[in-house]
Amino acid sequence: MGELPQNITTGGTPSVPAKNDEHSPGESRALALGVAGWLLPGLGHALQLMWGRAVVVFLAVGLLVGAGASMKGNVFTRQGNDAFDTLGYIADLGTGSFYFFARAIETSGADVSHADGDYGTRLLATAGVLNLLAALHAYEAARGHKA
Amino acid sequence: MTVLHPLELTHFQAFLLFAVVISVTFGFLGRRRSKDRVKYILWSLFLFLLVGIGIGWAMFPFSR
């Protein structure tokens, strides 16, 4: 019996040249669309001509922000007292430009001493997280992973 | 400065608003065809209501 030929490998995956597409134009465009969708709810989908999704995301986030703020929910600011305030601030920032809309219409401040204010706080946080999910969807759609 | 009329919702109304908005949005984002979207929205809304009311019932003995 002879020895094994030297050019036979003992297993493992064949080495394929790594594709460095992290900074390709397509990736940058997808990232820009994701950020656009975060800044203005629905914009990431609108720029990809997904009109139905764009309108639904815009209306859903707008409705939740409008309802939450008019129920005197807490619109968190950067000056939080604890970790929960910081988490609430991050969630509220998820609404993008609508965060300032919520601050603008809630002129008399939050009132979480009643149940309505507490529900409003949750609706505002929901709007932010929902918009972040929609922005992520726009990003993935632009990369061709979902549609 | 824009001022909205104060909104007063019951717990169930706020829950229903949440469930409808989330179901519709997820339906549009997760499905492409209209028929699939409607099925997804209705099923998601049903599950939201079922789980929400179920948790409410489960917590009832501890509410007083």
pLDDT of residue A4: 46
Average pLDDT over residues B27-52: 96
Q: CA B20, B26, B32 angle in degrees (round to 5)?
A: 125
Q: How far apart are CA B12 and CA B16, in angstroms?
A: 6
Whether residue A12 lies inside any domain: the answer is: no
Whether residue B4 lies inside any domain: the answer is: no
Distances (CA, A) of B23 to A72, A115, B55: 24, 24, 19
Whether residue A10 lies inside any domain: the answer is: no
Structural domain of A99:
25-143
Average pLDDT over residues A109-132: 89
Q: Please give the tally of structural domains in chain B.
A: 1
CA distance A93 to chain B (A): 18
Does this model's pTM top 0.90? no
Q: CA B38, A95, B36 angle in degrees (round to 5)?
A: 10
Q: How would residue B6 be classed by pLDDT, with cut points 50, 70 and 90?
A: confident
CA A139 to chain centre: 9
Amino acid at B63: S
Residues of A at the B interface, defined by Cβ within 8 angstroms: 52-53, 56-57, 60, 63-64, 66-67, 69-72, 104-105, 107, 115-116, 119-120, 122-123, 126, 130, 133-134, 137, 147
CA distance A12 to chain B (A): 37
Q: Please give the tally of structural domains in chain A.
A: 1
B34 touching A (Cβ < 8 Å): no
3-state secondary structure of A2: coil
Structural domain of B39:
13-62
B3 vs A76, residue with greater confidence:
A76
Whether residue A112 lies inside any domain: the answer is: yes
Q: CA B15, B20, B23 angle in degrees (round to 5)?
A: 120
Q: What is the ipTM of this complex?
A: 0.86
pLDDT of residue B3: 56
Whether residue B8 lies inside any domain: the answer is: no
The answer to whether B13 and B22 are in contact (CB under 8 A) is: no
CA distance A22 to chain B (A): 25
- CA-nearest residue of chain B to A110? B6
